Structures are given as C-alpha cells and as structure tokens.
Structure 1
Amino acid sequence: MGEADLANAMIERSPLAVAVVELDGHTITATNQNFEAIMPGIKADGHSILEWIHKDDHPLLRGLIGPTSGISGREQKREMRIGRRPDGPWRWMLVAATILKDEDPQATRRALFYFIDIHAQKSHELLESERARRWNYALVSSGLGVWDHNYRKQEFFYSQTWRAMRGYASTGATPFSSTEQWLQLVHPEDRDFVAHAIERQKAGDLRYMNFEYRERHCDGHWIWIECRGDAVEYFPDNRPARIIGTDQDVTDRKNAEALLAHTRQRLEMALTTSRIGVFEHDRNTGTVYGDARICEIYGFDDQPESFDIQRVFDLVHPEDLKRTLARSSELVPGGGPVSAEFRIYRENDGSLRHVRHLVRLHLGENGEETIVGINWDVTEEVRLRQDLVTAKQLAEARNFELDRAKSDIEYAALHDYLTALPNRRFLEDELERRVSIAAASDLKVGLLQIDVDDFKGINSTYGHGAGDRVLCHAAQTLLDMSKHNDFVARMGGDEFAMIISYEGGRDKLEQTAKRVLLELAKPISLNDARVRISASIGIATMGNKKADAAAMLRDSDHALKHAKSRGHGQTAFFTPGIRIADVVDRKPSDRLMQAIEQNDFIPFYQPQYDAETFEIQGIETLARWRQSDGSFSEPSSFIPLAQSLNIMNIIDASILAQALEDHRHWRDNGLSPPRLSLNLSPHRLSDPALVPALQRTELPAGTLTFELLESIFLDQQDDVSAYNLKQIRRLGINIDVDDFGTGYTSITGLLKVAPNGLKIARELVLPLTRSHDQRAIVKSIVDIGKTLNIRVIAEGVESRQHARILTDLGCDALQGYWLARPMPADAMETLLRRKMAEASV
C-alpha cells in the first residue's frame, strides 16, 4: 500500500477534520466527514482549499506548504480561521500539514491537512488580549504607571509608564535592586512615612493602600507620586502575597494646590493685616453673610455668620445713611464697583468709627441680586488726613517763619547786630563794586576808617552797656553825616568805615573827616554823666586806576594806625612811607597769619575723669601754636592778637576739624573715645557761618560739646548768637558753661540756657585744700547742678587732696594736671589704648 492509500485510510478513521490537497493547485482531492461538517451541504472535493480559509490567513497556508516552508517530511501548525468564503462563518482552528511522499517521482505532490477546532479557546484569548490592549491604552493615556509586587515569588514588575514618569529607560533594570535602595530616592521628609506605609501595605492595612509622596526624578528634580494599590493574593495567614497598583505623577496638581494654598494664605494674611471684611448681601431677603472681620468692624460680639442688613443700618450715622443708600442704588448688574465712606457707632462700645466699603452687584442664574463687597475701618486714615491738613497748615506757617528767619540770617550775615550797620563783609563787597565802577569812569573812591579812642577805657569806667551806647551813637552820627551815595559800615569792635565817591581833589575827604571828629566830640550822657569821645581816622584813596578794595582796606588801616600814633582826634592820609613804618610793627601779626597758612595750630587733649571710677569720660580740646623749634605756645600767647586781627574764627575752625578727624581715627581703631569738648568764643558764637559749617561736618551722636564762657550768658545775646545756640543743640552738640563761678550767672539764666554741664573755674578749685569757705562755695555750685540735673566738672585738680575733696563734694568729673596734662593726639591715643587694656583685664 502506497503512502497515498495509507492517507486515504487515515482520513476516514481520523476523529479530526482531514483533507488531502494537491500542492500545485491547492485542490482538495479527499476529505472526511468531520471536514464536511465544517460547511454542511457543500462538497469540498475539487475545490481549492483557499475557499475554506479566511483571506487574511492565506499567507499562513502558503507558509505551511510553500517551497520555502522547509517542512518537507515534517508537520507544521498554524492558527487560521476556517469557513466558507466569502462570509464564513469562521471558526478558529489549529491547522497542521504534512507532505505526502510518493514512490513515483512524476506523481502529483499532495499534503495531508488536519483541522483542530480551537475557536472557544482562541476567542477567549483574543477577548482577553483586546481587553488587555484597551486597559493598556487607558493606562497609557491616563498616565498611570502599573506596578506588581509578588512577594511569594519575589517578582517585581514596573510598566513602561511607571518608568517613563521617573525618567528611566523603558526596558532594562531599574536603578535600584531593593526596597531599601528605592527608599533613598524618596524625599527625606517623606522617607519614614513611605517606609511605614509599605510595611502597613504588606500587613494588609487598607488605610495605607493610597498615599502620596515625593520621589527624585532621574534628572534630579522632585516629582509628586500618588500611589494606589490593592492586594490580589494572600498568604495563608491573610497577609497580602501580591499587591498590584498604579502610580500617577501628580506634580502639577500638587504645585497647583501649593500655589492655591499659598495664594489663599497670602489673601487671608492681606485681609487680616489690612483688617478688610468680606460680605455678601442678598437683596431679596436682606440677609448679610459676613466674615469675622465684618463682625469686628461693626462690633458684633456674638460673631453671627449671617444677620439682617437693618442691623448695620441702625449703626450708621444718620447724616451718612441716606447718602450711602443713594450710592448703593447706582449698582447695576455687570457694572463697575461703587464705593462710599460713612460713619458708624460700633454696637459693642458705641465708639465712632469711619468705614469705607466697595461693592458690586451680581445677578444669579435665577435672577436673584447679590451685593458682594468689602468693608474696612479707615478711622486712623481719616485722622491721618486731618493731621496732614493740620501739619500742612503748620508747615506753611513754619515755612513762612523759616523764610523770615532766612531773611533775618541773610541780613545778620551782612549787618552788625548792635548798630544795624553793614558789617565788614558787606563793606568789602560794596568797596569792590565801587572801585570797579570808578575804574571805568571819572569818579574817585575814598575810604575813611574811623576808630573810637580809648574805647576800652569807656567800657572799664562806665560798663559794657555804656560802651554799646557809645558805638550806637557813633554809628548814628556817621549815618546822619553821610550823603545819599555814601556807605557807612561797622568793621568790628570800635572801628567804623565810610565809603565816599567823589570828583576832583581829596579836599572833600579831609573836610568830611574833620566834620566827623567834630560831631563825635559833642558830649553824650553815660550813666548820668556827660562824656565827650574822640576818634582817629585813617583815609585811603584809589591812587590809580589799578587799585583794588583789598589794597584800600590795608592802606586805610596803615593810615589809621599812623593817626592814632599821633594822639587822639587825629586824621591821616595814607602814604607809602606809612606802610613801610607799619611793616616793622606787624611782624607778630605776620607770624600769626603764616602759622595759620602752615597749619601750625594743632589740638592738644586733656582727659576728664569720672570722680568715682577714674575712667575717662570726656576729652577737652585745647589749641597750641607749634613753633619752628618744635616747642608749643600756650593760648595766652596768641589769642589776644588773633582776636584783635579778627582771625580767631579761623583758628577755632581748624582746631575743630583736626579734633573731629582724630576722634574718627580713634573710633576706626576700635578705641571708643568719649565726647570731645571745645571752647567756643563769643565772636565765634555770633558768626552766621558757624551753623552751616557744622551742618557740612559729619558729627556722629555723642561726639562734641561746646564750652562757652559764663560771661557769654551775662551779656545780652544778639539774634545770631541765640539762633546759633538753638541750632547747635539741634545738631546733637552739648553745651557746657566754662569757668563757672567767676561771673554772675543767675539761676534764671541757667534755666533759660539749660546747659548740659558746669565747669567749676580753676580759681575756685585751687584754694579748696586750705579754705573751708571755698569748699562751701563749690558745694553750693554742685548742689545747683544736682538740682537742675546738670553735670558738674571741676578743673584745676592739681593734687590727690583736690581730687578727694571734690569727689566728696559730689563733683561728677575731674580735670587737672594731677590727673593728666594736655597732650598731642598720639599720646592721647596711647592713653586710650592703655585704659582699654586695663578695663579688659
């Protein structure tokens, strides 16, 4: 029996659907009943096997029997849909093919096909695959990453989405091999919680099957993960053996929540800080829903969540209620906000408050009208506005006073406070102007410098008040004698000047000078006495067209000295011979001026010590003149000459600048120096340029004290001195009274000036060791200081006994040679360093 016959026999006996097919034409040559049952009533013999196979599966059939199948003598299997073309119905079958061998090489090639019905199994498999595909699409599109922890098999699966959300490769090993390693990728603040949650998951705790945490992305930033899981298999002890879940990247949501929370927090903080209350008012029912701040604004102690609008109306000031309601009637749906300000009497305490509100009308879906708005208490703002109006009025008044004060200061800067005549500065400017005009015209300019003879004698005999009256008499006499174009000024002290513009010779100048002497010689009354005064006059002229104002002032000064050298009541014109004779007498003055130019005036410092602790609590600054041989001259050697030359202000300013620089240097070196004190002369106090100069100087708090002689307070102060004294205090500079006890200052005077300190004069301190009466005097001064809360400093401490007595008497500070002599800046720095070192031990 050949293989073909054997195949036919097998076909009939096979329980499977079987068919024999010619390979060249795919023609069915034989089938069994089981094959015919696939399509009942249709004979398959003679038909192509392809008619029973779904067209999409034809390539599978050809793969079984084709020349490249490589199955010769070997059975192959494919899953195909079997039915009847074109519409089926189709059933999934497992198709196997075996090539039948024939001894005759010329015989037709055939194959034996077996068909096994797998439709139910395949349909279920396709259904599950489709479901899996749908779920996979759903998971991918939802961004859920699947994880599967099989603790029984110790298998752990993570989907591609799970990997992608963390930045891992879609395949390959994860960057961790254990739960402990993975936990290192969790945010440190969440790590303990996540470790605990995992343990609770393993224990089956449903409360931990859903939680959120932060995990590090592979590029380094943190992402928020929402983890959801559930147990699908259990160990015998009911512990989860397998947990399957999903992870979702919720970073955007968490960031949005954080931003929302932060915004809400800032809004709440802003509302709380600004004390703004928010409310809604239902117009139909009249009900108001307000927050706690609304209740606080209106004084509702019961803190209701809602209340009737009439409760608010009852609190509004009657004068404001109608106006406020009228403003609310302007509200329209979709329109802009309406604001109003009104007064209320708070419900709980009855206090009057000012409230501002801003409201807008909203129209609901059903047509209900709701007013939404805010209220805030503006009582303090209203008070501030009122205060600003008042302050503005005060400022305008003060500006007027400042403008007037400025005018007064400008006037004072150019005029003498006693006689109201122009001062030396004004004189110099006017003389310069007239000389310039005269140089370009035929006019001539003459300068008369007038000095009252023996003026010091008048002061000594009749007192300073009488001397002032003499100066005023001289000023008025010169004004009465001057022509409309003459210029009269007070140069300082007892010196006056008159500028005269004239034509022709100098006879007019001489005649004017003589008439001045005659008028001044007329008797005046001083303290019930008839007194005659005389004067000396020096006269200078332009001389030539190239003359200048400075030269004329020098020439008139030379001429005046020449006139005074000839006796009282004399006049003298300037000649070159007078200048040569005067140069010899000016050598001390020239040396003093040269010292100023060369900065030979330097500060020396004498410390002031606390009377109880002997710690340095102040430093007095003293002027010294450095000589060419390296020695230093005392102030008594140059102050009288400097005052006569009117240059003491320059020396004072230089000493102050150097002292402040030394003080700054000590501070920069960490020495913490105490306050500096400097003497301020009466002339310097009346200088209009004093305060502007101090304002341009950086003065740290607690740096400076000015010492003024007691006699300054005895004299009637001029307007400039009073103004300067007031401004000095505003600059934070203390005022001490120097040489107290040598004048006649009254308690009323001290109260008026209110100095920070009193310095007991050296003349009162020296006799203390031998005079009990002197101690009583000093004790009374100390008691005055204590009563008026004024610090008391004693100078002239030249022995230990002096220091002990003054301490017992209650002095606050001591100064004198026994404690320390005046010293230059470097020695003072050394002393400060030593004291600082002693204090640190």
Structure 2
Amino acid sequence: MILITTRDNEAFLIESKKLQKAGYKTIHANSYEKTLEILGDYKDIKLIILDVDNSDDLEKMTNKIILNSDLPILYMTDNEKKFSFDDYYNDFSYGFVLKESRDFILQSSVKTALNLFEKSRNLKAGYDYASHAEIISGFGYWEFDLDNNTVKSSKGSRKIYGITEETLMVDNIKEYPLPEYRERLDKAFKDLITGRKNYNVEFKIKNKIDGEIRAIHSVAEYDPKRNIVIGTLYDITRQKSAEESAFKKEEEYRKIFQNHNAVMLMIDVQTGEIVDANNAAVKFYGWTRKELTKMKIADINILTENEIYKEMEMARRNKKNYFTFRHRLADGSIRDVEAYSGEIISGKRPRLFSIIHDITKRREAEKKIKNLAFYDSLTNLPNRRMFSDYLEKSIVQGQRNDFQVALLNIDLDHFKHVNDSFGHHIGDLLLIRVAERLRRNLRKNNIICRLGGDEFAVIIEEFSSRQEINFVSGRILKVLEAPFLIDDKEIFISASIGVAVYPEDGSDVNTLLKNSDLAMYGAKDRGKNGYYFFSEDMKHASNSKMEIDTNLRKSLINGELCLYYQPKIDIAQNKIIGTETLLRWFKNGKIYKAPSEFIPIAESTGFILEIDRWVLLSACRQIEEWEKNNIKGQKISVNISGLHFKQGLIIKTVTEVLKKVKIPKDSIEIEITEGVFMENMEEAVGILNQLRSMGIGISIDDFGTGYSSLSYIKNLPINRIKIDKSFIFNMIDSKKDTAIAKTVITMAKLLDLYVIAEGVETSEQLKILSENGCNEIQGFYFSKPLSPEEYEKFFKKWA
C-alpha cells in the first residue's frame, strides 16, 4: 500500500488513480499528524509520497516520518523549478515526481523506488555493499592489462556477461559482444590507446547463462604509466527497452495526433511558436502545416498579449485547464474557440499541447439565450429583467453624479379591446409597431423597455427640468396618435403615462416602479390619453385601498358582511312581491365601509367573485328560512358583478348554490348592468337563456345610465327593467327625467317587460309612476333596507 500525503484532495484522486491502474493500493493523509497515525495503524505501507507544494514544514515532516518508519519517500510537486531535491535528500529519499505526469512515469518511479529500497535493505543485512551495489544497479568495472593480455572483471561485470571467472584472456572477452559490434569496439579500443578518441561505446552481448541479449554502455580510460585500461560497464537493457517502447508509443501518438478529428496544436511554451499542427488543424485554419509551423499562436489569436495573459490567469485562478479565445482563420473569418491545454516535456523544451474546439455556434446560441433572458422576444426591446438592471444602474449613477432619473410607465389604453376585436395576432403586431415608433421618435439615450403585456417604460437620465419630462411624455402621446395600419385595418390607440422621479419619488427600483404605476392609474382615472406625475396623495389612496382589500378578505371569515333587504311593491295590488338584497359591512356593530367604497376595490382584485358566491348562497338560505316561517312566494333580487359573466362562471356558481338549498326555482332574480352584454352579445344571450331555463329571473339594473339601446334590449331574454334612481330623484323638477322615465315604461310594456323604479321617496314620484303604468317600485317611501328580522315583521304587518 502507498501512502499519499497531500492537502489537495483532487491531486490525491488523480495520482491515486494512476497507481491503482498498476495494481497499487493507496491511502490518503491530509496532514502530518494523520500521516503518523496511519503509519502506526497500517503495517502494509511500502512507500510514502509527500506533496511538497502545500506542506508548511517539509523538513520537519520528513524527519518525523524517518523516526517513525524506515520507508522510502518520493516527493511530489507541480513545479520542478521551485523544487530542490538536494534540500530534502537523505537515505530514504528516492527522487521526485511531477503532478499530472503520464501514468507510466509515476508508476515507473514508484516501482524503481520500491525495487531500489528493497535491494538496499537486503544489502544492509550483511551483503558486500560495493559488489552487490554493482549487481543491483547493473553496474560493473573491468581492468585490461596490456602487458599480460588479460582482463580482470568485478562481480557486477561477471553478472552482466554471465561468467564466473574473474580473470580472462582478451581473446575470450572479444567473443562476448555480438558480431556486428566487434569491429567497431576494436577500433574504439585502438583509438583510445593511440589517444585519438575517448572510449565511450554502446553494444550488445549475449549473456552466457540465460542467453538474453543485453545492451551495454562502456566507458574506459588508458593509463600509459601502468599500461592498463580501466573501464566500466553499465547494463542499459531496460533503458534501451524503455526508449524503444517510448519511441513506438511516440510514433503511435503522432499517428493519433495527425489523424485525430479534433484540432490539435503543439506550441513552444517559451516562444509561443506553433511547433506542430495536425491534419484537422490544417483544415480548420486554412493554412498548410508548413505555414502554421512558421507562425506564433499570437498570429492567429486576435486578443492582445495582455488579454491572453488575463484569460490564462483567470483560468488558473479558477483551476480550469481550458481557455477561451477568438482565432483568425486564413480566409479572414473569426471563430470563437475553447483551448484545452496541458504542458508536456518533449525533448529539452516544454511544450503546450492544445486541443481546439470551435464554439462559435455555441456562443451564438448563448447570445440568443441571453437575448431571450434579457430582451422581449416580440418587440426586441429590453424586458422587465433588463429594465430593472438599467434602472438600478441609472439610480447608482444618479447617486454618484448627483442627477435625477425619471421613469415613465406607459400603458396602452383599450388594448384589450384590440385583442378581443381583431385577435391576438393583430395585438402583437400593434405592440411591435408601438415599439418601433418609440424607438424612432425618442432620443438614443432614452432607455425604452417592454415590461410585459401592453406596458412599456422609458428611463430618462440627467434631465434638465420637469419641462423635459413633459416634452418627452407629450411626444410619446403625439407619436401614438396617428392610426396604425395593420392588415388593412386602421387601429387607433392612446396611452396613459405615469411618471416617477428619483430621488424624490423613490430611491430604489421597486419603489419607483410602484409609484410610476400609481401615477399611470392616476392618468387613466383622469380620462386616459395623458400623463400624470406621482404624488404622495396617490400613495395614501393606494395604501387605503390595500387596507380595505386586506380587511375585506378577512370579512367573510370574521362574519362581518351581512345582507339587508329592501321590499319591492306591486303598485296595482299594493302587495310586497319580493325584495332586493343589499350588502352591508359591519365592524364592532357599526357600518365600516359603504358598498360604493369597497365594491370597486373587490371588482379590481377579483375578490368580488367570492362575494358574489356568498351573497347568492346567503340569499337562497334566507328564502329557506322565510319559507319555514310562513313567508312564502318571496322573489329575491341579487346583484351579480359583470366579472362573473366575463369569466364564464355564472352558470357554475348558480348551479352549485342551488344544489345546496331547497327553494322554489323562481325565487331568485339576478340583476346585471347593461355593460355586461356589450362586449359579446351572442355569448351573453346564450348565458341568459341557460339561466332562464333554470328558472332564474333576469333584471337589467340602472337602466338608462349605460348603453341603453332598443337594438339589444329586444334580443335579450330578460324579465324586468329597473329605472335608475337618478331619473326618479329629479322627476318632479325635471321634465326631461320625467320624459325618460315615461319612455322607458312605454318601451318596456311594448316589449312585454315588467318595469320597476328604484329610489322612490315621495308620494308625487309614486303618483307619476303609477299614472304612467310602472309595475313595481322600491324606495324609502315604503321602507328602508331591513335586516332579516325587521323584514319579517314588516312583511307580516303589511300583509
């Protein structure tokens, strides 16, 4: 087992994997203390690898290990230039290895260290150190006595040759090298004696014992005084075998390099010159291999040397082995590339081996994705996310440079009507045209965004005065005045603009956006097609609305809403024929808010749907209760909001309510305003027919105040028309209001409809209505709205 001591977990995993491929087991220690602990617990550790790059006191660490074990040590580093082996050399040091070197280099270093250590330990057991060191290392020496023509050899030499005799005759020795080397060796020996050349030769022999062919390196010197030649032998069989194997592998690697589909370059680290390029690189860059190898990497990289350095430094800090560059091809085109690089040693100079991936398409896709993330896909304007970034930057600049920033919140008026009338396709085209007009008519330094739907925004930085905001707002309204011609249709559109200014109306994005939104609704409330500046009054009004909305949602749970009932009288029979439900909101026994205050808020938030359901169910249960108390035949009118019809929920709501109660089918009459029918008459008629088939009566409330038209009244399946109280109130003093009331009564009779007048407070009003044939009335002349208990008493008294 091999113990690897390093704080770098990633380095341990990489080096451990290499060793495991060669069959070695590994164990990890991330500190000095852990190393000593493992050495105490594990008795099968054979070698220690110490990481010198992240060790604080390596010498101290080494000494402790030597004291606690007698194991060989290999030092590991990723920077051979900073590491000095001499500083750490001792009897247990067996060299160093580079991190992320090739697998076989690490494996060979470990194997060699283990072998040498094992042999050294055996020698210490009592063997003749010098002789066995020769044998182990494959080293030997010889001495040729020219006078006696004899050769004396050491044990190491004899082992290399596979002979036992210490002294041999020269003629016998000459037979040991293979025949092809004998002439060259003889000449080298003669050149040494004559002083012409040094003796430094390589040759091969056949071992006399095992018959193996061995490669030998021999160096010798001539001593003329003694007339002897002293030489050394070194068995280099393994080195030669490794060189031949490496050469073959290098040839294989080169074939792979040249024929691989990936673009590959070999670059000189020191000069930046392209040393080699494979076939794929030649095809990709468009230059020949000869042309490429005369270029530097800087010749194809369009970044400056400083930019290249920054990119590589950033990659190093982030522990990446790849870099992103832009490369120029032979045809002048520019491609985005990712270079995966690693340093290798090839010959004497370090090389950078780079695999180049063309990521141009990926970058284009990333730009599209980024565009989708930050730009509106329909208008190509910055979207809400980008708008927030722009506004945030503008606020920061305003703080830093002491200038104001204006936010214009633009909402198109009646855009929903365009969608409903012409379809969403036309609506989308209209939004595109609006964006084009804004871009064309506003200054380049005005930032235009689409917030979503029919809402746009303009950011104006460093404006000189409020007059400039007035001018820009007025210009926006002006450019939208001209009709838009889309698919041969002329479409007119206007806008409401809300303005909020940094810093007086808010110092952050959310506050400015919220306040500009309030100002925009202020513009709509003032008739639309205009602009309006935010004021604190709007904020107070908004807060009040929020408070009402919050409390209103709790009111149903807390039982604060209740129904009151105002009797309806048949004039001819002087009989109570039903009642209208009126909603009241109580807190602590007192009226909290009038319906005119909270109903519009409920309609704007959609909570009115919940209120409608509650009112309808409560009214039906009240009928059940009255039936039990012998108050029979009561028809209750319930006001239902237009939203219930627009969202197509009214049939479902009525059906669900009627399932929960047992009342006569004709006990319920639904009151709706004229505006409900105007957007889609055909759909409205279908819904009303379904309600009529369920036994539900239909009455048009506040008739005469909206879209009163005989063309639609005659087609609607309704029972009653209710004359609005505004006409009844002025009937005595206004001939026009009297004429309107008379006309409505006459029209209703001709259409076979009942007429009811609300808000009747005087006998004079009753007389006029009665004389002109009005069927029913309700109002304070007969009774105010009553609680259920009061209504029971009133009904019984009237009867």
TM-score (norm 1): 0.35
**Structure with max Cα Rg:** 1
TM-score, normalisation: structure 2: 0.37
